[in-house]
A = this chain, B = another copy of it.
Amino acid sequence: MIIERSAINPRRDQDYPEWYQQVIRAADLAEASSVRGCMVIKPWGYALWESMQKIFDKMIKKAGYKNAYFPLLIPLRFLEKEAEHVKGFAKECAVVTHSRLQADGNGHLIPASPLEEALVVRPTSETIIGESFAKWVKSYRDLPLKINQWANVVRWEMRPRLFLRTTEFLWQEGHSVHSSSAEALEETLNMLEMYRIFAEEYMAMPVICGKKSDSERFPGAVHTYCIEAMMQDRKALQAGTSHFLGQNFARASAIKFINGEGVEEYGWTTSWGVSTRLIGGLIMAHSDDDGLVLPPKLAPLQGVILPIFNESSKAAVLEYCTALKRELEGDGEISMEVDERDLRGGEKFWSYVKKGVPVVIEIGMRDIGMNSLCFSRRDAIRAGKQQCERNAFVATFRALLDDIQVKLYARAMKYRDENTLSIDSEAEFFAYFRESTGFAAAHWSGDPAVEERIKEELGVTIRCLPFGGEGEGICPFTGKASKGRAIWAKSY
């Protein structure tokens, strides 16, 4: 059954934001809850997060980090310690002020037992982790200290959007302390490189690595580095950040160590994080008008097998399917499912298309008779189904998955290349963003007033000062000298 019209309505070219919501609904990834800005991550969405966590957790541990867990609630006096940090987060904090509920006269609950000191639900954990680090670090022998936390955080969100901007989200936050500025900076960049590898090799999502301009820095950081990806509406998504915190948080939390010469110094710290926002990026990078498209390396299932049977053929078909599943799964790196639910074939088939499963295999008595099977690639679902001899399929299944992974990356890369323009005049820059959009590589003298004006007039910001983008030129907005091209774009 081939559906002529797209499975997702509206299509990307009709209404991109609504298409995004409909893909999430069709793939059954998440839903809004009654709690403003908070989402419910449904099983298929959470399985995707678990895939990401599993891969990331290994990478993080390989980089020498150990996982730990710090309190959800942070006393206000901790936040107060780093002035810029407070300013950055004060406007979006969930504040706990009471420790009990009681019934009012009408039988409704009201807060009771006010706390002596209010607590904030962590928007990020530098200050509370800093308290522990100050105890754990005494000497240069304790350094580097490398800790990661998997946790939920809350930042009050006025314009929530599933996965992309939610009041509560899940993330990992890495925190390290070093004995020198150079080592901390190197670590910041190493972790950014880890994010690049994850985005490109696992999510099949090309990213531009670079440094944020001062106006987009993490509150309290010296430098913020990021990976930026292009979505299919040509807007940018910041997919991960890594911060060089200098001694700012070490001073705020009194993280001090005795160096090799016996002198006490403040430590140099870093922090870096990625969140469930990545799922939003994954959706927008690859999905099409028929629903979610998942890269095989991150899909919770690499493929699904749909048996087609009637009462008399059921046993034979299921046996064939189950044996195939076992062979395809091999040593356990690959997950397959046989779905024997009693649903109409088309409905079943399209449910997996919409969920983004990389390969959908259909098997009926006719296929078994020919010792074959029929399969569809999710990345080319409209190209139709292919018949394949069973053993040949088993032998080439890993190569098929690799090919899907590679093609998704290439497609996203081509799209980004086609929608990135080097621009050298203000007029061209304004025309580009007014008539269409995309990434613009344009020189910038470093003047924040330019950033502000362009943000106001076009809704466009500097996504990053890309690594390798250095090279002298003239800023088209001010005529001043520039040390390199910045990447400008509209963004999520």
Contact = CB atoms under 8 A, between A and B. Distances in A.
Given A38-B71, A68-B40, A86-B109, A156 B100 contact: yes
Interface string A83-110: 0001000111111111111100001111
A69 interface: yes
A135 interface: yes
Nearest to A101: B90
A318 interface: no
A95 B93 contact: no
Contact of A111 (B35, B79, B95, B168): B95
Copies in the complex: 2
Given A31-B132, A34-B131, A95-B96, 5 more contacts: A33-B71, A45-B68, A94-B98, A97-B97, A97-B98
Interface in A54-73: 66-73
A399 B490 CA distance: 62
A39 interface: yes
B101 A95 contact: yes
A50 interface: yes
Nearest to A135: B31
Contacts of A50: 67
A152 interface: yes
A110 B96 CA distance: 11
A31 B135 CA distance: 10
Given A67-B47, A79-B109, A90 B102 contact: yes
B68 A46 contact: yes
A108 B76 contact: yes
A148 B142 CA distance: 39
A120 interface: yes
Given A90-B109, A97-B97, A35 B73 contact: yes
A154 B33 contact: no
B41 A68 contact: yes
B121 A97 contact: no
Contacts of A102: 90
Interface in A1-49: 31, 33-35, 38-43, 45-47, 49
A475 to B, nearest CB: 37
A301 interface: no
A36 to B, nearest CB: 9
A154 B73 CA distance: 10
11 contacts: A35-B71, A35-B128, A38-B72, A43-B68, A46-B67, A50-B67, A72-B154, A92-B99, A93-B100, A95-B99, A152-B152
Nearest to A100: B91
A170 interface: yes
A39 B45 CA distance: 30
Nearest to A41: B69
Nearest to A33: B71
A118 B128 contact: no
A465 interface: no
B101 A94 contact: no
Contacts of A119: 35, 94
A349 to B, nearest CB: 19
Contacts of A43: 66-68, 147
Contacts of A120: 101
A489 interface: no
Interface string A146-176: 0100011010100000000001101000000
A432 to B, nearest CB: 37
A74 interface: yes
A304 B101 CA distance: 50
A39 B128 CA distance: 11
A473 interface: no
A109 B80 contact: yes
